């Protein structure tokens, strides 16, 4: 495992011109166009990268992108690996291990999610304050490499309070409506039944999605600071659960993209 991470990191380093970034961004469903705001881009297709899984799902192009966002050097993942695609958790989180090996210190994550909090509207942005991990497999199960992180990692502040505060300040400055809440990570690929949405809300969730939690766990295991946001693309609120499709999720995510971008760009370049 350690050798594989090193091999992949060495390859990426050999392909990138200029300084290595300390900040990485994982772009979620329908949010890949955020890369349009990254300047001086260098693309590395996942298919070129040794040991990298290849993304299969519609709407997720697979590229590692290096460039500048605002004034900061960043590395972005355009397309991520989902558990429901059939990858195991070590594969899903492998890119985060590689990021750490490349010197990444801060990880920004975005995703599309279904809202269960009755105050939410489609197109809202939810800053993730905490998560509930309901994936059936844990990314840290198995042998622990102390070089990568501790056996029993603390999760009391998975999502950086410092970055959340700055994001709220930025949203206020720019007059962007942002919600905050708990993200429930589940395997998918089915969207939830009305009873499941209700259940996830009762246990403390405000939004539910099929990603993010594994990557955040590994990022925290490796000591990175994490900030994550969901775009609420559909509602699983009692009485108003409607049919959900991947197309609708993508459309709603795209609609919210400019708001999300403004917050992310400011946050990444300032902090
Ligand atoms: N459930 C799970 N994942 C999702 C949803 C949802 O309602 N919307 C977008 N991703």
> Which CATH number does the domain housing residue 25 bear?
3.40.50.1580
Reported as half-sphere exposure (CB side, CA atoms, 13 A), residue 195 has a value of 0
pLDDT at residue 60 in the model: 52
Residue 207 alpha carbon to ligand 1 centre in Å: 8
pTM score? 0.93
Of 83, 110, 117, 192, the residue with max ligand 1 atoms within 8 A of its CB, to mutate for a pocket test, comes to 192
Which whole-number Å values give the CA distances from 125 to 208, 253, 262, 264, in the listed order?
Answer: 13, 10, 12, 11
Atom of ligand 1 nearest to the CA of 236: 7
pLDDT at residue 239 in the model: 75
Of 209, 231, 254, the residue with max ligand 1 atoms within 8 A of its CB, to mutate for a pocket test, comes to 209
Of 60, 85, 113, the residue with max ligand 1 atoms within 8 A of its CB, to mutate for a pocket test, comes to 113
Residue 133 alpha carbon to ligand 1 centre in Å: 15
Residue 249 alpha carbon to ligand 1 centre in Å: 8
pLDDT at residue 18 in the model: 86
189, two tokens: 């690929």
Atom of ligand 1 nearest to the CA of 186: 2
Please give the backbone phi and psi of residue 236, each rounded to the nearest 5 degrees, phi first.
-110, 50
Residue 113 alpha carbon to ligand 1 centre in Å: 4
**183 cis-preceded (ω within 30 degrees of 0):** no
**Ligand 1-lining residues (CB < 6 angstroms):** 112-114, 188, 191-192, 208-210, 233-234, 236, 244, 249
pLDDT at residue 211 in the model: 96
Range of the domain at 37: 2-270
CB-based contacts of 85: which residues, under 8 Å, 6+ apart? 55, 56, 57
Task: Give the count of domains, the chain.
Answer: 1
Please list the rounded mean pLDDT of every run of 10 residues in the chain (271 residues).
Answer: 94 93 88 83 92 68 88 91 93 97 96 95 95 98 96 97 96 95 96 95 97 98 97 87 77 81 88 80
Q: Tell the residue nearest (CA) to atom 2 of ligand 1.
A: 209
């Amino acid at each position: 495992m350690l050798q594989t991470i090193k091999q992949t990191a060495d390859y990426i380093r050999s392909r990138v011109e200029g300084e290595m970034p300390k900040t990485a961004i994982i772009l979620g469903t329908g949010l890949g166009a955020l890369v349009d705001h990254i300047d001086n881009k260098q693309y590395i297709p996942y298919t070129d990268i040794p040991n990298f899984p290849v993304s299969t799902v519609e709407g997720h192009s697979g590229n590692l992108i290096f460039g500048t966002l605002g004034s900061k050097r960043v590395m972005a993942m355009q397309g991520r690996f989902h558990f429901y695609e059939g990858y195991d958790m070590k594969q899903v989180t492998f890119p985060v291990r590689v990021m750490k090996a490349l010197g990444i210190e801060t990880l920004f994550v975005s995703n599309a999610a279904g809202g269960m909090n009755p105050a939410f509207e489609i197109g809202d942005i939810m800053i993730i304050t905490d998560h509930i991990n309901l994936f059936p497999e844990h990314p840290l199960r198995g042998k622990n490499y102390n070089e990568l992180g501790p056996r029993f990692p603390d999760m009391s502040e998975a999502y950086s309070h410092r970055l959340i505060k700055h994001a709220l300040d930025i949203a206020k400055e720019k007059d962007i409506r942002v919600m905050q809440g708990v993200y429930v990570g589940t395997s998918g690929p089915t969207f939830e039944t009305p009873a499941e949405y209700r259940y996830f809300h009762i246990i403390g969730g405000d939004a539910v999605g099929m990603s993010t939690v594994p990557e955040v766990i590994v990022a925290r295991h490796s000591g990175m600071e994490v900030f994550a946001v969901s775009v609420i693309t559909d509602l699983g609120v009692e009485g108003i659960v409607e049919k959900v499709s991947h197309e609708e999720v993508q459309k709603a995510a795209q609609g919210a993209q400019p708001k999300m971008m403004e917050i992310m760009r400011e946050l990444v370049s300032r902090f």
